[in-house]
Structure 1
Amino acid sequence: MDHVDPDALDLLRARAHWLTADLLAVPAAVLPQGAGPQEITWSLAVAPDGGIDRRGDGAVEELPLTVALAGLPDALARRWPHLAACHALRPDAETAARAAVLLTGQVALLGRDGTGARVLATSLQIPGVLDDLYAEAAAHRVLGVSWAGERGRRVPTVAVWAPTARAVELLLWDGVPERPREQAWAPAGEPMRVPMQRGHDGAWTVTGTPSWADRCYRLELDHVLPRTGERRRVGTTDPWSVGLSLDSRHSVLVDLEDPAHAPPRWLEAPVPAAVRAVDQAIYELHVRDFSRDDDTVPAQERGSYLAFATEGEGRRHLRRLAEAGLTSVHLLPTFDLTSVPEDPAEQAHEAPGALATLPPDSSEQQRRVRAHALRDAFNWGYDPWHVLAPEGSYTSSPGQAHGGARTAQFRTMVAGLHELGLRVVLDQVYNHTTDSGLHRSSVLDRVVPGYYHRLDADGDVHTSTCCQNIATEHALARRLMVDGCVLWVRHYRVDGFRFDLMGHHSRADLEAVRAALDALTPEADGVDGSAVHLYGEGWDFGEVAGNARFRQATQGQLDGTGIGTFNDRLRDAVRGGSVHDADPRSGLGFATGGLDPRHTDLLQVGLAGGLRGLRLRSQETGQPVSGEEVDYGGAAGGYAASPEEVVNYVDAHDNETLWDTLTLKLPPDTPMVQRLRRNTLALATVTLSQGISFWHAGAELLRSKSLDRNSYASGDWFNRYDPALRDNGFARGLPPKPDNGPRWELMAPLLADSSLVPTEADMAVARGCALDLLRLRSAHPLLRLGSAEAIRRAVSFPVSGTEHGAPDLVVMLVDGRALDLAPRGDEGVLVVLNASTGERAVTVPGLAGQRWELSPVQREGADETVKGTRWRLAEGQVLVPGLTAALLVR
């Protein structure tokens, strides 16, 4: 055997896997060079109290392992495809029977050569064996706090799944806040220590008394840390917390069925009627943005949950949107976050008045904002801590919003939106955590070290999400995801979920969520879980890419689930280039002055629901193609089996806003009126499509982030949202340097150009035109057919690839006569998107002699230009003004 690599003896790395009680897997790369598995004597080193050192010395005993020549059984290879080629080792029956006990101490894999010299020492990755031992039994355990008994005398039981812990205690503090106080409330004195009892399912439980209600608690676990062998008592909050104290220092024993936490307004608010997925028109909004700058809202409520139920400028704007046809408000993360100090006394802000005095192209604004970035009250919130509890910084008085008070305010927000007829969608983040290991906010690893996160070949946490990746393919990690979704629906009455980086979850994860929600009924749970909609980011990247670890919940892999994915194909076709381009001026799209027929094809596929089976004539080649055959950088332009699987959008919280994209891509001397019309044209591609329609809040108001492409930590200053139309957010200084620095040379002249700042009148025009788009979607059901078969029969692009077509023109015909029953009697709609600057006369084959006219919505609407659209009966020809989206009806 060749010389042993000293790095092969390192228990700080976990390079082998314990998959089931009776099988371990060893990657071939771990073996000494030139050695086969049978040339090595294998053993499992164990130390109940820890103490094995980094090189593998100090084991209390070594238990023999034998090589299984057949390798991994087929079932395990399918369960762990990235380990399918591993060598398999088996303990004897006695060792396998001891697995549960051994895992509460330190375990390691040792290998020796023929001389007895140690050639391998590594720690083990243990999620597989923990699932093998406990997952089935733990599936029936209610985790976190559950309550039993009659109202007023309900008794709590706390359960935490910690199968590798040697002991667990509940730390319980006396006293609860009885009335609002000027300062933040926190428990004082030493807690009572209550031993918890271990069950066969790996969960530790304790049952209290009614007096425990609303009291603070923490958990303290006795662990042998798996790699270092150190024995430590580790304190933590409860990962299944539904209530928290200020800054998440303590979990709180909150009974979500306690009437004290159920505002009458929430109980009485009508639940919006269920709608089909494709009937949704969604508005993505940040809680703090919504009202932070709204001086028509009481100062104490600005930036809070309560502002959604207060009659301010923002609520009035949501009412306008709802009356026009908006169905849903998608809220950026509202669960407990790590990035915002909840205690106002700990927050720091730069005075807006001081920033307003600085030049529009200055770098000083970003310098001052970044100086407070870790202490200000703004963050998008994609840094989860406790995913079953509301974020405290969004309460009206964070220092007083203890436990159930957060619940009450969150429910008031839901009530306020439901009163407007708007469904509530919550942004969910189950793909990563902010921390792992024993860091402050690492609530999962503190409870079960090494279990909840997805690990690489050395046992380090994967970070392809830019954070610590959660492995929801592990049973209890998936359970956290499912429990969270069920809780927000049952106890807060929310209506949908958007999943961050959904492709890092498996299709099975999303199917488990769907099944759990579908099981909720009005009779048993007070809600109809089947009416809850699901969608997310179906991107394919990182360690899971290409189904490396499971069948992912990505674009094109969710057939039959009804779960939507964001359609980047339509987005890039409309905007041009890619959101990843180093130069934002790269590539012009349909709405930004481009003349690329490939964009036209991608746009047409998106308008028809992103279906891979769609048939159309390509504008690029003039030949018939399927949606799947339309190219998107080597991927299929059409990927969906059904239109509800596609969420069409042109901007979101990520990347530049639509208005900023127009500013960067259009020539600086482009007249403002053309910029406004291009903004409306871009929104029309989304709103008049057969998929789900999705707007970023403020797109209809020409919202700018002063060209910032990644404003997650850019503070209040660069994240302005103003439905009062006083300030669209442009020219507020150069944005923060991270992610934007190389672009500054392009940005500064634009920010300094006062002609690029829209007026209040400009924003009002844009808003009116955008509202008309919502009205069109609502008024014409043929835009929302809802099935691939109906789209196949009724939707066509009659001028594409013909002598009448052009790269900056899309004509979509939806022929209601082709259907057995045209929705609401619509006979047909004709959508014409003219991206050229001049009027265009378009002869539509097959429509000569038919009577078409502009939809009444646009005839009576805010856009004076579109009213110039005319139809020539004999020729079957439509005349459409430049930069116009027109909808005609038959």
Structure 2
Amino acid sequence: MPSDRVVRFVVDFGRGFIGDSVNNPNEVTAPSAAPPKPKPASFTGLYQSFRVKLAERLQPFDVCRPIQVRAGSGPWRTVYAREVLSDPVFFYAKDDLGSRWTKERTAFKVWSPVSSKAEVLLYKTTKSPVWKTIPMKRNAQGVWYAVVPGDLHGVFYNYRFESYGETRYAADINGYAASADAQRTMVVDLTQSNPPGWPAPRPFKGRRPTDAVIYEIHVRDLTSHPNSGVSTELRGRYAGLVQKGTRVPGTSFATGFDYLKDLGVTHIQLMPIQNFNPAHSGGYNWGYETTLFNVPEEQYAVRRNVPLETLRETKRTFMDFQRAGMGVVMDVVYNHTVPSEGEWSAFWQTVPYYYFRNNDRGDNLNESGVGNAVHDERPMVRKYIRESLVYWLKEYRVAGYRFDLLGMFTPDT
């Protein structure tokens, strides 16, 4: 074929046709001329990475102070601490981050070594103005802490940080309950989230993993249709998953909980139920865009605007499955979060850049295909993931996990 000849290719899956203007001239018209060659891209804002050797070694507390660099006569640019925070000096080994309630007092701890100031803001409701502002103190690892006297069960809170010349607000990434918009977490006495009869025995204990028969379900999908036979108010809810005696209307065919039990499955695998992107809570969602990893998604609760009831309903559902001989496996998405940056991301606001893989310019890497990737190589990120998994194992007694995009994690994690 002459090198200057232009050929048009057509692929039409609707007709099952693949052809070109050379071999199928009656069906594919040859173009009169080649399209213009693309112009070379004109890049702006090119960047390079480089190392700067300081005359004096930085001290740990220097990461919370303004650091800027300038190349020649160019503008001063802010230096954001990332890999330096993986130094052992910033590693906090204890497992008490978040809020810890007792009737006499509540202790708050949050890891934010880059912040020059941190406060706990208390609220009486999800929408009310600030009720109390509590200053926090910083320890050597960058953990800010405060103790507030009195019974704070049911009180909402978030953190206010000063970092990199900005004021940032963040929900507690270690919190256990939250408002529907995930902007305020709630202090909770976890014993009050236990339903009557809690806990149930672990049904699969002592058996071989290869004996497991796992059935994957979506909380909403299993019961949302009227033919599920589930009560209207329970359709698409946690409680609807364990309603007993349901049948396809007008028949004797078991549905929902009874159907799963009759199948003989040993485990129910729930598609993601960890609190996910509030912007999508009102619509259909598979849940693969987690926002707060220790909080059950509220849209599946009957009383979705009462955080404690969301916890209690989740536990009751797990317990009923367990009492019927079925363990609960959670589908978890620790490889990315949504949103990943900006004022709606508690991870970003707490320690900008640290929790995500990004390039030298600071762009988040899209290794997950959804816009960001959690940087589990970093010690405090890895610790967060592990502690979150342990929390669900202990507090909700889950039987196991299915990890989304497991290949994104390092073997150590």
Q: Same fold (TM over 0.5)?
A: yes
Give the one of 272, 276, 279 matched to 1:337.
Answer: 276
The alpha-carbon distance between structure 1 residues 414 and 340, as it changes in their structure 2 partners (threshold 3 A), is farther
Give the one of 162, 168, 173 matched to 2:118.
Answer: 168
Paired residue for 2:201? 270
CA distance in 1, matches of 2:183, 2:73: 45
CA distance in 2, matches of 1:104, 1:218: 20
CA distance in 2, matches of 1:420, 1:340: 35
Q: CA deviation at 1:329?
A: 1.0
Q: CA deviation at 1:487?
A: 0.5
Paired residue for 1:612? none
1:384 paired to 2:324: no
Paired residue for 1:462? 365
CA distance in 2, matches of 1:290, 1:462: 35
1:100 paired to 2:55: no
Paired residue for 2:108? 158
CA distance in 2, matches of 1:415, 1:244: 22
> Residues 637-652 of structure 1: matches in 2 within 5 Å?
none
CA distance in 1, matches of 2:294, 2:159: 17
1:132 paired to 2:87: yes
* Letter of the 1:207 counterpart: V
SS at match of 1:170: strand
1:428–1:497: 8 Å Cα contact kept in structure 2?
yes
Name whichever structure is richer in helix by fraction.
Answer: 1
Paired residue for 1:203? 143
1:499 paired to 2:398: no
Give the one of 143, 161, 176 matched to 1:221.
Answer: 161
> Residues 360-759 of structure 1: matches in 2 within 5 Å?
376=283, 378-399=284-305, 401-402=306-307, 404-440=308-344, 442-465=345-368, 466-509=370-413
2:219–2:271: 8 Å Cα contact kept in structure 1?
yes
The alpha-carbon distance between structure 1 residues 319 and 147, as it changes in their structure 2 partners (threshold 3 A), is same
* Letter of the 2:396 counterpart: Y
The alpha-carbon distance between structure 1 residues 341 and 396, as it changes in their structure 2 partners (threshold 3 A), is farther
* Letter of the 2:144 counterpart: W
Paired residue for 2:184? 250
CA distance in 2, matches of 1:439, 1:321: 46
1:15–1:125: 8 Å Cα contact kept in structure 2?
no
Paired residue for 2:30? none
Deviation per CA, 1:244-278, whole angstroms, max 9, x where unpaired? 1222231000122x2x21101433x3321323222
Give the one of 234, 240, 255 matched to 1:307.
Answer: 240
CA distance in 1, matches of 2:77, 2:134: 36
Give the one of 49, 74, 77 matched to 1:15.
Answer: 49
SS at match of 1:106: coil
CA distance in 2, matches of 1:341, 1:6: 35
Give the one of 273, 293, 296 matched to 2:229.
Answer: 296
* Letter of the 2:267 counterpart: S
Q: Equivalent pairs: percent with the same residue? A: 25
SS at match of 1:406: helix
CA distance in 2, matches of 1:106, 1:280: 54
Deviation per CA, 1:750-779, whole angstroms, max 9, x where unpaired? xxxxxxxxxxxxxxxxxxxxxxxxxxxxxx
2:277–2:339: 8 Å Cα contact kept in structure 1?
no
SS at match of 1:264: coil
Q: CA deviation at 1:155?
A: 2.6
The alpha-carbon distance between structure 1 residues 423 and 120, as it changes in their structure 2 partners (threshold 3 A), is same
* Letter of the 1:309 counterpart: V
CA distance in 1, matches of 2:225, 2:400: 27
Give the one of 194, 200, 203 matched to 2:134.
Answer: 194
2:332–2:404: 8 Å Cα contact kept in structure 1?
yes
1:339–1:383: 8 Å Cα contact kept in structure 2?
no
Deviation per CA, 1:313-371, whole angstroms, max 9, x where unpaired? 2011111122xxx22111110010115655xxxx4xxxxxxxxxxxxxxxxxxxxxxxx
1:239–1:444: 8 Å Cα contact kept in structure 2?
yes
Q: CA deviation at 1:154?
A: 4.9
SS at match of 1:471: coil
CA distance in 2, matches of 1:339, 1:244: 11
CA distance in 2, matches of 1:108, 1:492: 46
1:100–1:133: 8 Å Cα contact kept in structure 2?
no
CA distance in 2, matches of 1:278, 1:328: 12
SS at match of 1:15: coil
The alpha-carbon distance between structure 1 residues 164 and 317, as it changes in their structure 2 partners (threshold 3 A), is same
SS at match of 2:64: coil
Deviation per CA, 1:416-437, whole angstroms, max 9, x where unpaired? 2112211111011111111233
Paired residue for 2:193? 261
Q: Give the aligned CA root-mean-square deviation in angstroms.
A: 2.4
The alpha-carbon distance between structure 1 residues 14 and 413, as it changes in their structure 2 partners (threshold 3 A), is farther
Q: CA deviation at 1:498?
A: 0.9
The alpha-carbon distance between structure 1 residues 154 and 391, as it changes in their structure 2 partners (threshold 3 A), is farther
Paired residue for 2:215? 283
1:488–1:494: 8 Å Cα contact kept in structure 2?
yes
Paired residue for 1:597? none
Count of aligned pairs: 359
1:171–1:191: 8 Å Cα contact kept in structure 2?
yes
Deviation per CA, 1:782-808, whole angstroms, max 9, x where unpaired? xxxxxxxxxxxxxxxxxxxxxxxxxxx
1:14–1:123: 8 Å Cα contact kept in structure 2?
no
The alpha-carbon distance between structure 1 residues 309 and 14, as it changes in their structure 2 partners (threshold 3 A), is farther
CA distance in 1, matches of 2:267, 2:325: 8
2:171–2:346: 8 Å Cα contact kept in structure 1?
yes
CA distance in 2, matches of 1:141, 1:14: 39
Deviation per CA, 1:801-839, whole angstroms, max 9, x where unpaired? xxxxxxxxxxxxxxxxxxxxxxxxxxxxxxxxxxxxxxx
Q: CA deviation at 1:187?
A: 4.2
1:171–1:219: 8 Å Cα contact kept in structure 2?
yes
* Letter of the 2:201 counterpart: P
Paired residue for 1:727? none
Paired residue for 1:51? none
2:104–2:150: 8 Å Cα contact kept in structure 1?
yes
SS at match of 2:198: helix
Give the one of 96, 100, 104 matched to 1:146.
Answer: 100
Q: Which has the larger radius of gyration?
A: 1
In structure 1, runs of 5+ residues without a counterpart are: 17-25, 27-41, 43-64, 66-90, 112-116, 176-185, 225-230, 348-375, 510-890
Paired residue for 1:767? none
* Letter of the 1:381 counterpart: G
2:90–2:140: 8 Å Cα contact kept in structure 1?
no
Q: CA deviation at 1:110?
A: 5.0
CA distance in 2, matches of 1:134, 1:279: 45
1:15–1:122: 8 Å Cα contact kept in structure 2?
no
SS at match of 1:102: helix
Paired residue for 1:318? 260
1:134–1:202: 8 Å Cα contact kept in structure 2?
no
The alpha-carbon distance between structure 1 residues 272 and 293, as it changes in their structure 2 partners (threshold 3 A), is same
* Letter of the 1:191 counterpart: W
CA distance in 2, matches of 1:139, 1:110: 36
Q: CA deviation at 1:508?
A: 0.2
